[in-house]
Structure 1
Amino acid sequence: MPRKPNVVVTKSNHLVEATYALSLAEQRLLLLALARVDSRGPLTVGICHTITLADVMEIYGVSRPQAYELLCQVAQRLYARSVVIHGPFPHQPDVSLIETRWVASIRYQDGQGALSIVFAPDILPFLSQLRERFTSYHLKSVASMTSGYAIRLYELLVQWREAGSRTVELIWLRERLQLGGKYPNIRDFKNRILNPAIEQINAHSDLWVKWEQHKRGRVVHALTFTFGPKADPKPDTQHPDPAKSKPVKPKVTRAYIEQHAQPGESWEEARVRLQGLIDQGKAPA
């Protein structure tokens, strides 16, 4: 399978922890559009973010008919979706909750096999001019997942990647996933939501993850996730092949980031940039 390109998704932590429900296909289209946004650029209303059939086929490894369906039918559904963003908001201290559509408009370019997405104005502060409290990750880390819940859980975990663990109230998690009355029984929740999501994160992403539950009496009230980056496969030290030997990739430690960060670059932006260079074999010495 061809190697997926290093496309980075960046969003405010407010958006990572927002309440919404999207299908897998809707999430895939949205993430492609998010990856087109300059997270450090100015807040500009009306900017078009163009996605092509080739983009969809390359990132997600789907056929041309599947990519066409994503661009046309799925885009129409995404246009109707909304998201609830929870405060407090530094830029709007008197507002406690924002409900908005993701998308203000979609512009189809059938002759070019492409469409352009314009994000809603109330979404822009959570996508642009981000200097702190944001999360970035490589789109390839979730591109092979086949569960929208797995993508959501991955984002909630990678937001806390430095801590390596996160405890969430079950009620809080259900609300963020906008489950409503679906899967009220904890066994159903585990079988239909949690366990498949964990399996996919472990199988397809750059993280390993395990979890445990916490009870009050006989009722599960919280979940703790422990996670970290997957280790690189160990080389065969007994029968090394000099022709296949590769240079050792540097680890993205705090000292390495401080040494190679660019002026004006946040710690998280430097980490994502350097990891991308390492993945491409272009790591600074």
Structure 2
Amino acid sequence: METPHHSYLIVKANKLIEAAYRLTLAEQRLLLAVIAQIDSRPTGDSVHDVNFEVSASQITDLYEIPLKQSYELMRDAAERIAERWVVIQHPDPDIPALAYTRTRWISAIDYLPSEGRIRLYLAPKIMPYLTQLAGEFARYKLKHVSAMTSIYAVRLYELLIQWQMQGEREVAVDWLRERFVVPEQYSRIYDLKRRVVEPAVEQINAHSNLWVRWSQRKVGRVVVAFQFQFGLKANQPVIPAPAGNSVPRAPTRSEIERAARPGETWDDVRARLMRERDKSEKRECSSQGQDASGGA
């Protein structure tokens, strides 16, 4: 049964969707809970110093997090967001010399622990990308990303939603690394695909209203771009998967919750489980290879 929260709309300017930033899962979820409250329509009135309240019960309803943990997670996420930067490229087409704007997400936080609420004040430089939007923006329902546990799945979903009418999008590898602020440990293309692209596509297919397939484009032997084909699941074409080309399954939310260790974030647990799965698959492949050679 859907709650009123399932109808929440997220509306962002394209410039913000394509900005360079990195947020943890908890930080993303808190910001989305705030953005869902914003009236993005052009009203003719400027918006300044607007605050938005988020409650622990709201976080619980949106993301199925135990209520006793929600306020602490929300408070900690707000404090980390206050230190985060977002870089918006070429923010004003009327000022070609302005290469980029670097701004915080929020400018202040009010705490109401006895009521299980916090109040966030969005930074003035961020507001124009969330309000008064008359063109060049994308929108989607929060419910389509609320179950995702990969920070990259939410970002990729937004990039695809921008091009929903076209049904395909090519994303340069270097551009994706920069915009997603991908860690150095994923510098190899194998790791980028395994840790970023594949889990993101899997979770979009599992939790959102989109189906996605992807491939890669090479120049010589170098992968230079990822190519995505996608559309609404209601219109998904039936194409059999090629034999022997299975995509490794990312940990589910329940698996992450069960495996979490004290002090680990969702991203930490997920990365650890994927590493353990990698090792297990390599051992299995090695064992199968030895059996095959031994039986020849």
Per the normalisation by structure 1, the TM-score is 0.78
Q: How does 1:1-285 map onto structure 2 within 5 Å?
A: 5-40=6-41, 41=43, 42-90=45-93, 92-231=95-234
- For 2:63 and 2:46, the matched residues in 1 are separated by 29
Instruction: Describe the superposition over 1:10-69 as per-residue Cα deviations: whole angstroms up to 9, x where unpaired.
Output: 010000000000001100001111111111243322111111112111111111123112
Q: Number of residue pairs matched?
A: 233
In structure 1, runs of 5+ residues without a counterpart are 234-285
- For 1:62 and 1:232, the matched residues in 2 are separated by 32
- For 2:94 and 2:7, the matched residues in 1 are separated by 31
In structure 2, runs of 5+ residues without a counterpart are 237-296
Contact 1:84 1:99 in 2 (8 A): yes
Contact 2:55 2:71 in 1 (8 A): no
Instruction: Describe the superposition over 1:207-259 as per-residue Cα deviations: whole angstroms up to 9, x where unpaired.
Output: 000001000111000111000001289xxxxxxxxxxxxxxxxxxxxxxxxxx
Per the alignment, residue 240 of structure 1 pairs with none
Per the normalisation by structure 2, the TM-score is 0.75
Matching residue's letter, 2:200: A
Matching residue's letter, 1:129: Q
- Shift in Å, 1:73: 1.2
- Shift in Å, 1:91: 6.0
- For 2:142 and 2:149, the matched residues in 1 are separated by 14
More helix by share: 2
Contact 1:29 1:70 in 2 (8 A): no
Instruction: Describe the superposition over 1:120-156 as per-residue Cα deviations: whole angstroms up to 9, x where unpaired.
Output: 1111111111000001100000000011110000000
Q: Runs ≥4 in structure 1, deviation > 2 angstroms? A: 1-4, 90-94
